[in-house]
Structure 1
Amino acid sequence: MPALTPAVQRLRADHAPALLAFERENRDYFAASVPDRGDEYFARFDERHAALLAEQATGLCHFHVLVDEDGRVLGRVNLVDVADGSAELGYRVARSAAGRGLATAAVREVCALAAEYGLTELRAVTTVDNAGSRAVLARTGFTATGELVLDGRPGIAFVRPL
């Protein structure tokens, strides 16, 4: 199978149809490891997308999508809760693109962008049983800082200076 070479792009209004398709196609896959977004998310997707763009314009968040050469969204990498030079990293990759190093490459690229946004530190959390996410964080320079409870499940907090 050929290597995937999607581009990391800052979220824009015209990403909405491909992003909605990505979320719908992968809903069950994502719900196995993170809380489901719920039916309301899909019913009000356009409204939510516009709100994300407005929030991004304030500088409080930086949203990114991984888009292949056909315009399909294969993943998301977001920086949220920007304050005092720090932000929380979150990411998800389509089932069809998992296990190919895509998340690692995308997180590395967004870490570089985070420095360009003026950030000096990123935080992340994942559940203990999400070995794939823990591996991505380790490969991209994050270190564990402690345990926590994440949606009722044991989790780990991470940090990465930029």
Structure 2
Amino acid sequence: MPQIELLHPDHSPALLAFERENRAYFAATIPDRGDDFFARFDDHLRDRLAEQETGACYFHVVTGAEGEVLGRINLVDVADGGADLGYRIAERAAGRGLATWAVRELCRTAATDYGLTVLRAGTTLDNAASRAVLARTGFTVVGERQFSGRPGLTYRRALTP
């Protein structure tokens, strides 16, 4: 059974392996993190953990039965009862409902543990899988937006504890 865990320093090796293994897969649908992300991974992780300490963001990993990282799911720009949702699932775990499960779980956590009342999300038009996950988990389209020059949609979901 997968779990969602709040990001902590012990996740570093498994998280870096996850990012490296899935770099090309992710780059097909979302902007690549760039070589600097991998070269300075420890610095980036330290920065994210410092951000998390302020309550401005909540970074999570989705782990499998053996503690392997199968995905990331994050809440960023937390303010005024809302946050932006972002997620990515490993290629080897895609297409099995893991993203839908993780988004549902994090919506519950956002409402009950973090006291949030609304989540926002966005994806490109050509990312059918992400659009389907957002639709299945109660997000509704609220607008259009460009993502690194690619057309996309923005979404919103109200949360209740």
Q: TM-score, normalised by structure 1?
A: 0.96
Is 1:100 aligned with 2:96?
A: yes
Offset at residue 87 of structure 1 (A): 0.3
Pairwise mapping of residues 1-162 of structure 1 onto structure 2 (< 5 A)?
5-115=1-111, 116-162=113-159
What's the RMSD between the two structures over aligned residues? 0.6
The CA distance in 2 between the partners of 1:24 and 1:6, in whole Å, is 21
* AA at the equivalent of 2:130: S
Unaligned runs of 5+ in 1: none
Q: TM-score, normalised by structure 2?
A: 0.97
3-state SS of 2:132 partner? helix
Aligned length: 158
The CA distance in 1 between the partners of 2:6 and 2:98, in whole Å, is 17
Offset at residue 71 of structure 1 (A): 1.6
Unaligned runs of 5+ in 2: none
> 1:6-49: per-residue Cα shift (whole Å, max 9, x none)?
11101011000000000000000000000000000000001111
Q: Which moved more, 1:45-54 or 1:98-107?
A: 45-54
Greater than 3 Å deviation, 4+ residue runs:
none
